[in-house]
């Protein structure tokens, strides 16, 4: 059973090394790429002001965050939820950078730093699958027909839930869930035989040629250049037909 945690964060700004802090963490549990409904979510008092630009993105104010727990008070619950599961993050260096910076502030009591190489970065997946296209979360939702009408502002838990849907599409869509449902029992009684009870038995499948006359003519002209002993004729037959 593959367990993964889709994770998103919100922050006071964009510069973890410059003193910006985490203010929200949202996590969604996946088993074999399917959301189980189990989540982890918390707001964090950053003990510093939220930048104007960041506030415009997520709408989390200094007053709202002022009575929330500090990171040291939520880190154990966060670590227990994630356990040793693989993390799935969009633009992973950003979120991992902030998490590792928060861990570093805890000193000796901190969990081990997150290894970026062990994280699934859905932004890199999207860039490989859609090179040259916009691959932010909104663009991917639009591309895959994922409903984002609930998303008037960025929010860590909601964005993690949406990212879980995007991740499934990047993996191949709803086909990833095949094989998880229990197999249906075979119907009782004899198995019907094709052609019984007056029903016509299926005949051989007819595969119609897809070559146009001009394409067939060019193909036969090419075969003629190979000579009578060409190995291709062993597979194509004496007449050299396609």
- 127-177: pLDDT as tens digits: 999 999 999 999 999 999 998 887 767 899 999 999 999 999 999 986 454
- Average pLDDT of the residues in 32-58: 96
Within a domain: 32:
yes
Q: Residue 105: which of 21, 48, 8 has the closest Cα?
A: 21
Please state, in angstroms and rounded to a whole number, the distance separating the CA atoms of residues 44 and 67: 9
The sign of the CA dihedral 152, 154, 155, 157 is: positive
Predicted pLDDT at 71: 97
Check the annotation: does 138 bind a ligand.
no
Within a domain: 31:
yes
DSSP class of 43: E
Q: Residue 25: which of 60, 67, 62 has the closest Cα?
A: 60
Q: DSSP string of 144-213?
A: HT---TT-SS--HHHHHHHHHHHHHHHTTGGGGGTT-SPPPPPPSSPPPPTTGGGPPPP-PPP------H
| Residues acting as catalytic residues | 154
Predicted pLDDT at 163: 97
The count of domains in the chain is 1
Report residue 215's pLDDT band, with 50, 70 and 90 as the boundaries. Answer: low
Predicted pLDDT at 174: 63
Q: Residue 9: which of 93, 80, 118 has the closest Cα?
A: 93
Is the distance from CB of 50 to CB of 20 less than 8 angstroms? no
Predicted pLDDT at 124: 98
Within a domain: 214:
no
Summarize pLDDT for 16-25 with one digit per residue, the tens. Answer: 999 999 999 9
Who has greater pLDDT, 188 or 218? Answer: 218
Check the annotation: does 10 bind a ligand.
yes
**Domain that residue 93 falls in:** 3-177
Predicted pLDDT at 240: 45
Contact partners, residue 124, CB within 8 Å, separation at least 6: 92
Within a domain: 190:
no
Report residue 186's pLDDT band, with 50, 70 and 90 as the boundaries. Answer: very low
Please state, in angstroms and rounded to a whole number, the distance separating the CA atoms of residues 96 and 101: 8
Report residue 233's pLDDT band, with 50, 70 and 90 as the boundaries. Answer: low
Within a domain: 186:
no
- Average pLDDT of the residues in 35-58: 96
Predicted pLDDT at 114: 97
Check the annotation: does 159 bind a ligand.
yes
For residue 155 the two structure tokens come to 């929010």
Within a domain: 210:
no
Quick check: helix, strand or coil at residue 53? helix
* pLDDT of 45 strictly over 70: yes
Predicted pLDDT at 237: 52
Predicted pLDDT at 183: 40
Q: Residue 7: which of 29, 27, 24, 22 has the closest Cα?
A: 27
Within a domain: 159:
yes
Residues in the chain: 242
Contact partners, residue 121, CB within 8 Å, separation at least 6: 89, 90, 91, 92, 93
Predicted pLDDT at 179: 45
Predicted pLDDT at 67: 97
Report residue 108's pLDDT band, with 50, 70 and 90 as the boundaries. Answer: confident
Quick check: helix, strand or coil at residue 229? coil
For residue 118 the two structure tokens come to 């062990």
Report residue 203's pLDDT band, with 50, 70 and 90 as the boundaries. Answer: very low
Within a domain: 197:
no
CATH of the domain at 127: 3.30.420.10
Q: DSSP string of 64-133?
A: HHTTSPPHHHHHHHHHHHHTTPEEEETTHHHHHHHHHHHHHHTGGGSPPPP-GGGSEEHHHHHHHHSTTS
């Amino acid at each position: 059973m593959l367990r993964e945690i889709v994770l998103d964060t919100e922050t006071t700004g964009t510069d973890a090394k410059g003193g910006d802090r985490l203010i929200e963490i949202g996590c969604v549990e996946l088993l074999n790429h399917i959301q189980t409904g189990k989540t982890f979510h918390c707001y964090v008092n950053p003990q510093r002001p939220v930048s104007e630009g960041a506030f415009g993105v997520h709408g989390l104010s200094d007053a709202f965050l002022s009575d929330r727990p500090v990171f040291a008070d939520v880190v154990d619950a966060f670590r227990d939820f994630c356990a040793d599961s693989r993390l799935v993050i969009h633009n992973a260096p950003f979120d991992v950078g902030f998490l590792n910076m928060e861990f570093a502030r805890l000193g000796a009591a901190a969990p081990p730093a997150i290894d970026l190489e062990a994280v699934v970065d859905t932004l890199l997946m999207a860039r490989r699958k859609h090179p040259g296209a916009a691959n932010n979360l909104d663009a991917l939702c639009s591309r895959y027909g994922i409903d984002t009408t609930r998303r008037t502002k960025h929010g860590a838990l909601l964005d993690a839930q949406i990212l879980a849907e995007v991740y499934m599409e990047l993996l191949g869509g709803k086909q990833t869930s095949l094989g998880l449902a229990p197999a249906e029992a075979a119907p009782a009684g004899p198995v019907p035989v094709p052609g019984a009870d007056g029903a016509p038995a299926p005949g051989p499948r007819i595969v119609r040629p897809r070559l146009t006359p001009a394409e067939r003519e060019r193909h036969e002209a090419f075969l003629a250049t190979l000579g009578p002993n060409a190995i291709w004729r062993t597979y194509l037959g004496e007449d050299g037909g396609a």
